[in-house]
Amino acid sequence: MPTVVQLPAGKALTVRAAADAFLDSLRNPNTVRSYGVGDGKTAERIGEARPLGSVANDEIGEALELLWGTAAVNTWNARRAAVLGWCAEYGYDGPAVPAWTKRLAVPDSETPARSKMAVDRLIARREVHLREKTLWRTLYETAGRSEEVLEVNIEDLDLAARRCPVKAKGARSKARRRGQAREDFVLETVYWDAGTARLLPRLLRGRTCGPVFVTHRRPGPGKIVSARDVCPDTGLARLSYCQARALLDEHTAVRGPGTGWDLHEYRHSALTHLGEQGASLLMLMAKSRHKKPENVRRYFKPSPEAISELTSLLAPGDSRR
């Protein structure tokens, strides 16, 4: 919660002083950094030296529209929230965000779902390295987040049962302490099948512990890496998300760098294909480990062919034969 900040006394509170006082009242440094952009640019737009009480509500709205009226929906909502919090801090002594600058509904994710044939053909290509084949197949069969899968170590794997625990996004903490280790969080389980089961033993040959997915080189002398992120058998460092994304883009880009697939597409594709095969919403939630049905619905993007096949059930009589 914001703390009470002593405001300048003896003179009218300026727009800049009010913004600085509000930002100083925030405890979370990430919130300060994010809100600082919205409040700072808005203060510049309406005049930093002006008395706060002289600013009209519509001026706040016009500043928001001019600065972020054409920005992405998430950017607009974030900047609006920053200014809304700042204005609410002063109640009747300052302006308010006008009602016509509404918070916008976040659109559905634009991440595409690739066809099962496209996924299989990419992984089967001869020029793709075994490490990438294994990573992509694991992402697809587990429907896991790429950050979770890349963090897995060999000692975490249950190869016989085809599963392993992962530290999920927003994992709950078991204890309140600084510098928490992975084991201090509630872990969740991901499952894979035959494709990953065939590739993993080949990838792990000769290694008994350390990261499952490693780079082809050792970390530089000036880079500090934790013991968990280095393979003790080879000295190779864990493959990072940025490196894995660049490798996927290298094999899938058709219109230059940055135009290829994204690692998250494997998660979208897996959940879409399971849904097309008749998996229920509850089973999709169990597989994806989403807590809210509306979140997993955004991942289900059936193909035109699947919708066409479904529509054929409505045909009269036996016309589908």
The residues annotated as belonging to the active site are: 145, 174, 264, 267, 290, 299
Cβ atoms 134, 117 nearer than 8 A = no
SS3 assignment, position 14: strand
DSSP 228: G
Q: Angle CA(245)–CA(250)–CA(254) in degrees, nearest 5?
A: 120
Distances in whole angstroms, Cα of residue 242 to Cα of each of 4, 182, 186: 41, 21, 26
Q: How many CB atoms lie within 10 A of CB 255?
A: 7
Q: How many CB atoms lie within 10 A of CB 127?
A: 6
Q: Can you tell me the distance from the alpha carbon of 257 to that of 3, in angstroms, rounded to the nearest whole number?
A: 47
DSSP 24-80: HT---HHHHHHHHHHHHHHHHHH-TTSBGGG--HHHHHHHHHHHHTTS-HHHHHHHH
